[in-house]
Amino acid sequence: MKLHWKIIIGLALGLLYGIFAATQGLGGFTSNWIAPFGTIFISLLKLIAVPLILSSLITGVASLSNLKKLSRIGGKTITIYILTTAISVTIGLVIVNMLQPGDRVPDEMKIKLQETYQSAADTKASAAANVKDRGPLQPIVDIVPSNFFNAASSNRNMLQVVFVAIFIGIGLIQIPKNKSKPFLDFFEGLNAVVIKLVNIIMLMAPIGVFALIADTINTVAGDDLTNILELLGSLGYYMITVILGLLIHMSVTYSAILKIFTNMSLKDFYKGIAPAQLLAFSTSSSSATLPVTMECCEDKLGVSEEVSSFVLPLGATINMDGTALYQAVAAVFIAQTLGMDLTLGAQLTIVLTAVLASIGTAAVPGAGLIMLVIILEAIGVPSQGIALILGVDRILDMMRTTTNVTGDASVAVFIASTENQISPPKKEFD
């Protein structure tokens, strides 16, 4: 059986078990005996992320014949990332203005949501305050680490690792071959080992995904399913708006990129990328999914390692179309629910801040919600308003992370195609 089917079965069983556990009050059992398998699975994926980026990017950059090519690929990648993010925010804004989900929340539910999630909303707002106090150039300053081991010691510093790897790769191109060879040989070996490890970890994926989904339902619903049903009832329209936006973005924007600029059929693309999408959905983290996204792109879609090792780690950290679209819809939804009218200027501010905020959003669960606070403040909507959407945020996080990862993969295929770096897929994943 193909890996993605095994993962889908794990996901479905996790869903069924989660609902069963919530109705039977098995919350404690689930967090003690089921959830740890999900944690182990995610930890394994995170464990290999830094060595994977280092080894594949160093060997990738060092194999580029000249630096001109690197800057051309870099410029193209960043431009398309920003462009697609801006398109996704615009789609989100059009849909939320058309469907007006904020007008559908009953008044008593508004009060209840504000009360229930107030303290959680305050915590997120103070996390956002730390980010907001930084100067305008701080994100660029943050990319350059002052100590390599510090950078490599946290998966949150992925962009710093990307920077170091490119920097070392550039150095390697410029020294004599006999000096660079031993160094490169080491990283090529490391790269081969890490790729093998991804395959081994993926054997555990169905169980890991089962545990992750069961635990997510457990956390969202607690021991009382009526909780979540009530939430889905009152915020259902808002959720549909976000999901519809994400689907439109995926099926219009990404399909257009693939159809116009590449020879890849949509069927091949989605078949190839399915394991990464399922993992993004289950983990809500683009960075935890990164090793699998790279593996899928290289082995199943035929993207060269040179392109995938540069485009995908960068994309996992800065390209978050799903997050940006969600932030735009959520900001307008909160304003609508609070009875505030947003001017055209405010909506344009959303486009700008959502693109920037999604770039600054960490690729971990729930990070998009924290950056939403900054957008709300930019358009003068009280940030406590996030209490309204906190209850269903995890579910939407799963959806937006899937979009984020799909976006990274489509751009990788686009860059590889336009750079003539796409070849017939090497092998099947499983």
Residues making contact with ligand ASP (CB under 6 A): 284-286, 320, 323, 361, 363-368, 397, 400-401, 404
Q: How far is the CB of 296 from ligand ASP (least distance, A)?
A: 16
Closer CB to ligand ASP, residue 59 or residue 283? 283
What sign does the CA torsion over 403, 406, 410, 411 have? Answer: positive
Is residue 198 within 8 A of residue 47, CB to CB? The reply is no
| CB nearer ligand ASP, residue 61 or residue 325 | 325
Contacts of 42 (CB under 8 A, 6+ apart): 208, 212, 283, 285, 288
Backbone angles phi, psi at 422, to 5 degrees: -120, 135
Least distance in angstroms from the C-beta of 49 to ligand ASP: 12
Return d(Cα 134, Cα 32) in angstroms, integer. 39
For ligand ASP, the closer CB: 21 or 125: 125
For residues 4 and 202, the answer to whether their CB atoms sit within 8 Å is no
Between CA 230 and CA 108 the distance in angstroms is 12
Task: Select 62 or 331, whichever has its Cβ closest to ligand ASP.
Answer: 331
Query: Any residues with CB less than 8 A from the CB of 385 and at least 6 apart, and which?
Result: 121, 334, 335, 337, 338, 376
Letter for the amino acid at 106? P
353-387 b/e with 16+ CB inside 10 Å = b? bbbbbbbbbbbbbbbbbbbbbbbbbbbebebbbbb
Shortest Cβ 368–ligand ASP spacing (Å): 3
Shortest Å distance, C-beta 370 to ligand ASP? 8
Nearer to ligand ASP by Cβ, of 303 and 372: the residue is: 372
> Of the two residues 404 and 417, which places its CB atom closer to ligand ASP in the complex?
404
* CA distance linking residue 187 with residue 113, whole number of Å: 52
Q: Could you tell me the smallest distance in angstroms from the CB atom of residue 427 to ligand ASP?
A: 28
Q: Tell me which residue has its CB nearest to ligand ASP.
A: 368
Nearer to ligand ASP, 306 or 321 (CB): 321
Q: Residue 116: name the closest of 267, 220, 249, 272 by CA.
A: 220
CB contact at 8 A, 37 and 208: yes
The DSSP call for residue 101 is G
3-state secondary structure of 422: strand
d(CA 106, CA 120): 22
Minimum distance, C-beta of residue 394 to ligand ASP, in the bound complex (Å): 10
Give least dist CB 388 to ligand ASP, A: 17
The SS3 assignment for 285 reads coil
Shortest distance, position 401 Cβ to ligand ASP, whole Å:
4
Of 21 and 93, CB closest to ligand ASP: 93
Helix (H, G, I), strand (E, B) or coil at 363: coil
Cβ proximity to ligand ASP: between 54 and 320 the closer is 320
**Nearest approach, Cβ of 117 to ligand ASP (angstroms)?**
17
Using alpha carbons, list the distances in angstroms from residue 203 to 298, 307, 380.
Answer: 18, 26, 48
